[in-house]
Amino acid sequence: MKRFLVILALMLALTGCGSASAGNETKVLTNEEWADVMTGIQTDMEMPALMNLADTEVTDFLGINTENLESFTVQFPMMMVHSTAIMVLQAKDGMIDTVKEEVGTWLSAYEEQWSTYLPDQYELVKNRVEKQVGDSTYVVIIAEEAAAIEEKIDAALAE
């Protein structure tokens, strides 16, 4: 059933219904709804095992203040031999620039960390998907199948 809903949402997005481009409002999902979206993504794709970071972990480890967010999902690998990360951060009104700055600071450090470790994982970090969707959503995808993950996230935001 979830697969059907994801496909239906994707078809609607591709036909122009529910476009989610910068400068527009996007649907705000709850943290629980994001968990469902991420479960669907991980079920459909071969990825390293990921864990969902809690509020305190996002703030303490990544330097992203969750008090500036309406909702979010931050997925990180369980083993530090993978650079895969998926973040969807839905900022509170007027906080998107602050969130982007905090993410940028973390991304700079993350890229530097991987630059001296595993070359294939460093390439994933360098070739990440990073974008603002609408007025308040910021997305970062570091993964081998980043484009496919991006499509699923865009579909969830357009539903």
Window from 20-29, 101-110, 116-125, 148-157 with minimum mean pLDDT: 20-29
pTM for the structure as a whole = 0.83
Q: What is the pLDDT of residue 26?
A: 83
* Whole-number pLDDT of residue 24: 64
Whether pLDDT at 143 is above 50: yes
- Three-state secondary structure of 84-135: CEEEEEEECCCCHHHHHHHHHHHHHHHHHHHHCCCHHHHHHHHCCEEEEECC
Residue 22 pLDDT > 60: no
Q: Is the pLDDT of residue 4 over 70?
A: no
Tens digit of each residue's pLDDT (9 = 90 or more) over 45-88: 999 999 999 999 999 999 999 999 999 999 999 999 999 999 99
First to last CA, the chain: 15
How many angstroms separate the Cα of 145 from the Cα of each of 79, 142, 159? Answer: 18, 8, 22
Closest alpha carbon to 48 in 9, 15, 75, 8: 75
Do 13 and 150 meet the contact criterion of CB atoms below 8 Å apart? no
Could you state, in order of their start, the residue ranges of all structural domains in the chain? 2-158
Q: Which residue has the tokens 């994933």?
A: 124
* pLDDT tens-place string over residues 109-124: 999 999 999 999 999 9
